[in-house]
Structures are given as C-alpha cells and as structure tokens.
Amino acid sequence: MLRPPDTRPDETLTSHRRPRNLAASVARFSARHRALAVFGWLLFVVLATALSAVIGTVGAEDSDYGNGESKRAAEIVDAAGFPERAGEMVIVQSGTLTADAPEFRDAVREAAAAVEATGQVENVNTDAVSEDRHSALVTFDMKGDPDTAADRIEPVFDAVAGVQRDHPDLIVAQTGEVSIDEAIQSQVDGALGTLSMLSLPVTLGILLVAFGALLAAVLPLGLAVTAFLASLGLLAASSRFFPADDTVTHLMLLMGLAVGVDYCLFYIRREREERANGASPEQALATAAATSGRSILISAFTVIIAMAGMFLTQDVTFISLAVGTILVVAVAALGSLTVLPAMLSKLGDKVDLGRIPGLYRRKSNGRFWRFVLRVVLRRPGVSATIAAAALVALALPALGMRPASDGIEGVKHDEAAIKTYDRVQTAFPGGADPATVVVKAGDVTNPAITAAIEDFKAKAPATGQLHEPVTVEVNPDRTVARISIGLSGTGADKVSEDAVHTLRDDVIPHSLTGVDGAEVAVTGGAAQSVDFNHALTRSVPLVFAFVLGLAFVLLLVSFRSVVVAVTAIVLNLLSVAAAYGALVLAFQHGWGSGLMDFQERGTVTNWIPLFLFVILFGLSMDYHVFVLSRIREGYDRGWPTKLAVSRGIQNTAGVITSAAVVMVAVFALFTTAPLTAMKEMGFGLAIAVLIDATIVRAVLLPSVMAMLGERNWYLPRWLGWLPRLSHN
C-alpha cells in the first residue's frame, strides 16, 4: 500500500511494494539513506583520486610488451648488459650528385663533425652509402640515459640545421629514435588531451537535447566523470599487478562516458516515463529501480565478461585495456545503482530544473519509431531478410582483412623527423627500422660463431629481401651478439613480414643455427608484428569462446530462454561483423582516407579487430539487455509476444537513440586523432553503435522476435531449476 502524499522524503521506496531484485534493493537502501549514499560516493571518489596522486600509476615497460620469439630476443638483449643508447642518424642526399662528389663528401664530413662538436653524441659513423650512391648516412648515439635524451637533443638539431644551410643544394636532415618519439608525442599528447576534453561538452550538448532540462543533463555527465576519476585511483592500485598501457586512460574516459551516461539515461528516462503515466514519485522511482536498475546490473556484468576475455591474450596491452575498462564500468554501475536513486529520491520533479523551451518533454511520442515498427512488424520476414542481407553484404569485406602492426606508418607524416624517416627507408630499405638478430652463446667471439656470423652477412643480402647496412655488436662479457640488418618493405607491412620469414626460416637455419650451441632469435618492428599476429591468431578462438559462452549463460539466467540468449548473441555478432567490413573498406581499402586524413597502408592495425569485438559486444549487449528487459516485462504481464515486442521497442527507442547519439558523437571525435589506430578505433566503435541502434535494434530484433512468437521463450524442462528473476 502506498504512503499518503505527505510521506517524509527519506522514506521514498520504503512504502511501495518491496522490490524483487538486487538492483531495486540497493536503490531502496540508498533512497532511505541518502546522505550515506551521496556523501559516501563523494568520499569514495576523493579517496580514490587521492590514491592515484599519492602512489602513481605503474606504466608498462618496453620489456613487458611483445610475444614469442621477438620477446625472447628482447629479453636476451635486456639481460646482456648492452649500453643503453638512443640511436639517431643524419641523411645526406642529392638527386644529382653521388657520394664521391667533393661537395657531397664535404657535407657528410661536416655533418659528422657538427653533431660530434655538440658533446651530446658518441659512436659517430659515416660508412653507410646507398646502393644508388645518392644518399649517405651519418649514424650516432645520444650520450647518457636514453629516456632523457630528448632533453639534450636540441643542440644536435641546431647543428644539423647549420650544415643544411651551408649546403642548400643537398638534403641534410635528421631522424632516429629520439627525433621520431618527440615528433609523435607532440602530435599525440595534445590531440588526445583536446579530444578527451571535447568529449565532455559534446556529451553535455546531446544530453541537453535529450532531456530538455539542464539538471537532468548534468546529472549523468557528473556521474560519468566522477566514476572515471574514481576508476583512475583503482587503476593506480591495480597497476602494481597489471602495468598500465599509455592509452588506457583515454579508453577509460570513453567508456566511462559511454556506459555512465547510458546507465543514467536508462534510469532517469524510465522514472520520467512512469511519472508521465501518472505514478507518484515514489512509485516511479521504485519501478525504475526494479527494471532499469536490473538492466544496468546485467549490462555491467556483460560488459565486464566481454572485457575479461582480453586476459586470455596474455598480452600486456590487452590486459591493461581490460583492467581499465572493467574498473570504469564497475564503478559507473555502482554509482548508477546507489548515488543516482538517492539523488532522484531527493530531487523528485526538480530533476527537470532548467527546462529548455522547445526541447523539454517528459515523455517522447516516438512517432518515427512507431512508424518503423509498423512497417517491420507488418512484414517481419521481408524486413529481417533485407536487414540481414544488408549487414552480411557490409560484413563481406572483412573476409579479406589484413591485420598488421602500424608502427610509424600509423602516424601522420607531417613532422620533419618522420619525413626524413621516409627518405632513409627509401634510400636504405629497412635501414630506418632494421631487424635485430640476437645470438647467445658461451663466447660469441670464438672462431666458429664468428665464421657463422660472416656466413650470415654474406647469405642474407643474397636473398634480395635483406639489405645493408649490416652491423654487429657484442656485449661486454661476450655472451651475446646482436646483428642489425635492413628488411625490404616499409615498417611492418607484408613485404617486411615476408622478409622476416625468410630471415628466420631460410638464412638463419643455414648459417647460425646450431653453431657451438648458440641460441638465435629475431626481433625488431616487423618481427614483433609477425609474432603478435601469431599469438593473436592462437588466442582469438579462446577469447571468442569465453565471451560468447559466459554471455550466453548470463542471458539464459536473466531471461530464462535459450532462444533469446542465442538470438541476442547472433544479432550482436552480425553487427560486429558489419563493423569489421566497414572498417576494412574505410582503412584497408582507403575509402575514408580523404575524409579522415590518414595514410593508406592496405592493412588494419592488428590489435583493433579483437579489441573492437570485446568492446562492441559489451556495448551492444548493453542496449540489447535494456530492450529485452522491457519486452520480457510486457510478456510477463500477459501481453502477446508481438505486442510486447512492439511496445518494448517503442518505449525504449528514445533512450536507445539518445544513448547511441552520445556514443557515436564521442567515438567519432577520435577519427580526428593523429594516430591511424585511434581513427580506426573511433570509426569502428561509432559505426557499430550506429548499426546496432538502428538496423539491429529497430528492424532485425523486432522482426526476428515477431516471427519466433512464443518460441522466443523456449526453455528446456531440464533447465527449469533456473531462478525466476523479476522484470517488473
């Protein structure tokens, strides 16, 4: 029985019939103990943020990355005691003069003398001349700690610029590890910081349109931002066990905004809908807590399950992204289930404070979606066939997907150091990003191994895929030699990866393998790409099986239907496949290069497909669970399946549209980032959410469920023991 209108505010939800699920019970407690819920949340956020500032976040080291043979090679080098250096180079180049010309020789000599005169370099070498003899390299290492070399490189830049001024008819330009890192960081740091900040006003603007009221729009954004801040503190603690990748905080902000805003939208719009239908504030909040709150709980578990699948890759980048995403989703869900109902119970109708004329309406009429559903449900078979055929057609290009490491090719080539890198790569194939062959033995300077290395140096260039310069360096205790050799191709493209296979499978077995018990391993950019792809191919089936299997179990338990669980998974896989196809067309085939301003490489960044799968599966299930809950809610009230489907989708269409617009807008911002991988991530996420919220949710789902009818709710008798969860 409901309490009379003069019920005290802190008794909201206590007088309504007791909730029948965990989410509603938590909301009921929060409404009864508002001060505890609100101030407890704020204290949690402050303490977590302070924790992050005090203990700091442990970042992943270079030695944490890698897979297979290339990682083993890197570990051997790290343990060998080689002096840590940051290598740089100056290219001297002419379109007409050769390296024998006096002016050319003078420029090379002056470049070497100029960089050496700065006192910041060592190991200067001028031996490398290109095959066409129109280019020469001056190579050197920066003195001191390579991690701080960027602080000391400015005088070297100035010295090289002075030589260029003295020889205007030649190209004298610098590139290398420090130069390129500085160029990339100058592009990335500013751009990602700007994009992260832009996402906040964009999200607020969309929420203002969605709610038509200032306070209702600020509330979801405030929850999402505080959830993000709190999760950063938890990330600092977890990084002691799982080192954090540099990109994880940007992803956490994205996901925090996406799910935090979604969860609030689900809650607030349902509460508004119930109020518009005549419910009292207490009844409206109780219903929102029992229904939308439960959907939030299931959605959060589904996203977390999907993210947890990345642990199976055993790759530090994927594990870091998984930890960060799980933390921010869990914190956002916690806030939505606790502090949000506490705030709504206090605000009541004041949540609509700051109404915007022309935008505010408590309940959307949903005319457009009613029209779409009438068309779809009139001919469900035809609608399903057309929608499925369109998605399959869009997905077909994904069959030709070619994943590869992007390396420096994934950065805009606007900076001088990166343009110079391209010159070096053209004049000295593989010279700017060589392979490193690591030889470990009791004494790598003994005659047998020395002869084997000389044999390797003779056989490698004969393949036509491996090139000069070839350099050999031995560690202080003479147990490890590292051989640097150029590869055909650019960066980690297919040509250079083929060269890695030639190196590993042909040249090394016929020159170095087995000599005096030596252990041989290959690393470098292209080798790391090969090993990463191999490791990914091995782990992808495990990740897919884990994510799909646990999602099936969760959906089965939540909706007590085998058919609903299978349908949800199939529809989500179809939307992910369509997103893959769009990604291949836009980036691998270069259809989006003009619009999104990137350099076409004929590949897709190798970590993007698996990353998109787990993120998209989690986010699309977020919508799916919310819609299915409304459909099941109607069915449990005794409505026919077709009516439950129609009303369930109509009643959630406004929320889904608003949430999708937020996600698409925020994700699309990242297509303007300087890194191609970030563009791919933003595009893939945006296009998948768009497909999911329109074709899948508005056409495929209702048409398939309408055709299945009562069979939607099929549950074998032997599963009758599953718990019955309330949807009301």
Contacts of 460 (CB under 8 A, 6+ apart): 466, 470, 485, 503, 507, 511
The per-residue pLDDT for 703 is 92
| Topology annotation, domain 363-402+556-722 | Multidrug efflux transporter AcrB transmembrane fold (1.20.1640)
**pLDDT tens digits, one per residue of 453-479:** 999 988 988 888 888 778 888 999 999
Contacts of 557 (CB under 8 A, 6+ apart): 722, 723, 725
Burial of 33 (0-12, 13-18, 19+ CB in 10 A): middle
| Spatial contact of 564 and 714, defined as CB atoms under 8 Å apart | no
Least confident range of 107-116, 391-400, 521-530: 521-530
For CA atoms 392, 397, 399, 405, the dihedral sign is negative
Residue where the block lists tokens 């998984």: 322
Nearest to 603 by CA among 664, 673, 533, 540: 533
Residues 26-53, mean pLDDT to the nearest whole number: 90
| Spatial contact of 231 and 324, defined as CB atoms under 8 Å apart | yes
Q: What CA–CA distance (Å, rounded) separates 599 from 208?
A: 37
Burial of 327 (0-12, 13-18, 19+ CB in 10 A): buried
Q: What CA–CA distance (Å, rounded) separates 619 from 681?
A: 14
| Topology annotation, domain 434-523 | Alpha-Beta Plaits (3.30.70)
Instruction: Enumerate the domain spans of the chain.
Output: 79-176, 363-402+556-722, 434-523
The per-residue pLDDT for 173 is 93
Q: How confident is the model at residue 11 (pLDDT cuts 50, 70, 90)?
A: very low
Q: What CA–CA distance (Å, rounded) separates 391 from 389?
A: 5
Residue 475: count other Cβ atoms within 10 Å of its Cβ: 18
pLDDT at 325 over 80: yes
Nearest to 263 by CA among 23, 20, 591: 23
Specify the pairing of strand 403-404 against strand 604-605. Answer: parallel
**pLDDT tens digits, one per residue of 53-112:** 889 888 877 777 778 898 899 889 888 888 877 888 999 999 888 888 999 999 999 999
H or E segment at 95?
none
Rg of the chain on CA atoms, in Å = 30
CATH class of 79-176: alpha beta
Mean of all residue pLDDT scores within the chain: 85
Domains 79-176 and 434-523 are alike in CATH topology? yes
**pLDDT tens digits, one per residue of 145-197:** 887 888 889 999 999 999 999 999 999 999 988 888 887 777 676 676 777 77
